[in-house]
Structures are given as structure tokens and as C-alpha cells.
Amino acid sequence: MFSINHTHIRLLNPTGWGDVGFVIFQFENSRKGAREAIPHFDNGIKFWTDTEIGGMIDEIYRILDEIRRAA
């Protein structure tokens, strides 16, 4: 998600979004009753290009096709 946000929001409008950091909140059930929000920030991570993300998706489908053929 960070790479997609970076490419399609931040890079398309660097004046408006260039210095904005993104955060994704992961909500988990807690044994204490209230759900906990765990923040994941985009500080210091590698951003993938659309081409790299497309290649990763293609690889997943290739592997799934191999598994399907072997079953």
C-alpha cells in the first residue's frame, strides 16, 4: 500500500503531498476488550514502482498456477 500511495498520491502532486508521511493502521482484537490500533509508518521503507509491483503479482499467479497444475 505504501508504494501505491507514494506513486499515485505523493509523486503526482509533490507540492501538496511531497512532505506528508503515510500511516496504515492495523486493528487487532484485544483480550482486554477494546481493539488496538497498531500504526505502521512509511519511514525508511523501500517504495516499489508500478512495474515492480506488477512483476510481483505476475510471479504470485505463476506460482499459484504451478500449484494448481500439480494438484
What integer pLDDT is reported at residue 31 of this predicted model?
A: 78
- Domain boundaries, given as residue ranges, for the chain: 2-70
What integer pLDDT is reported at residue 9 of this predicted model?
A: 82
Question: Rounded mean pLDDT of 46-57?
Answer: 89
DSSP state of 9: I
What integer pLDDT is reported at residue 61 of this predicted model?
A: 97
Model confidence band, residue 55 (pLDDT cutoffs 50, 70, 90):
very high
Query: SS3 of 71, please?
Result: coil
Q: Could you report the per-residue pLDDT of 5-40, keeping only the tens digit for each?
A: 777 788 788 888 888 788 888 998 877 778 888 898
Neighbouring residues of 41: CB distance < 8 A, sequence distance ≥ 6: 21, 22, 23
Q: Which residues pair with 14 in a beta bridge?
A: none
pTM value is 0.57
